Amino acid sequence: MKKVGVLVGSLRKESFSKKLAQNVAMLFPEGYELEMVEIGNIPFYNQDFDDEDNLPAEIGEFRNKIAELDAFLLITPEYNRSVPAVLKNALDTASRPMTDNKWSGKPAAIISQSPGGLGGFGANQHLRQTLTCLNVPVLQQPEAYIGNVATLLNENGEITNEGTVEFLTKFVNKFVDLIEKY
């Protein structure tokens, strides 16, 4: 059983990223267990936590969770052409100390979304830069930029556009192929 952690870059109760995550999770084949990983309760990372051996419990728990997962699906909105602070903080927190990077060598895939037409291109590209630095192999193709996301979901948060479901199924299949290489 492969365990895939799903990190959502939005804390909003009704976030589009969260709704996309729920839809995409259903597209994984048997043998894959997806788990939503809470990132909203992690304190902002401060190196003094590690240097002074004064690690908040939430950070220790988060690092342990990341260590036990096999791969990661990151689904995020774009804030000011970049990654929301909550998601960047999660990446930074589990990559420290640098000698114990919990992300290293574990595959990831990125889906960015936006109510506008660009689909979160800036956030997607910034995540790729950060993940490269963290030694995370990232699914290269297909890239997933989901634009006009509000028009793709019904009142129950389900994707109603058949073409989008087909694309996300292909995306998941390619991600599974990447995971199987590791």
Determine if the pTM surpasses 0.85. yes
Q: What is the pLDDT of residues 102-135, one digit of tens each?
A: 999 999 999 999 999 889 999 999 999 999 999 9
From the CB of residue 143, how many other CB atoms can be counted at a distance below 10 Å?
Answer: 17
In the chain, the DSSP E strands lie at: 2-8, 32-36, 71-76, 108-113, 144-146
Q: Which domain holds residue 156?
A: 2-180
- Count Cβ atoms within 10 A of the Cβ of residue 30 and give its class: 0-12 exposed, 13-18 middle, 19 or more buried: exposed
3-state secondary structure of 178: helix
Residues 144 and 20 sit within 8 Å (Cβ to Cβ)? no
User: pLDDT at position 138, please?
Assistant: 98
Point out which residues pair with 33 in neighbouring strands: 3
Q: What is the pLDDT of residues 26-75, one digit of tens each?
A: 999 999 999 999 999 999 999 999 999 999 999 999 999 999 999 999 99
Provide the CATH number for the domain around residue 51.
3.40.50.360
**Number of domains composing the chain:** 1
pLDDT band at 82 (very low <50, low <70, confident <90, very high): very high
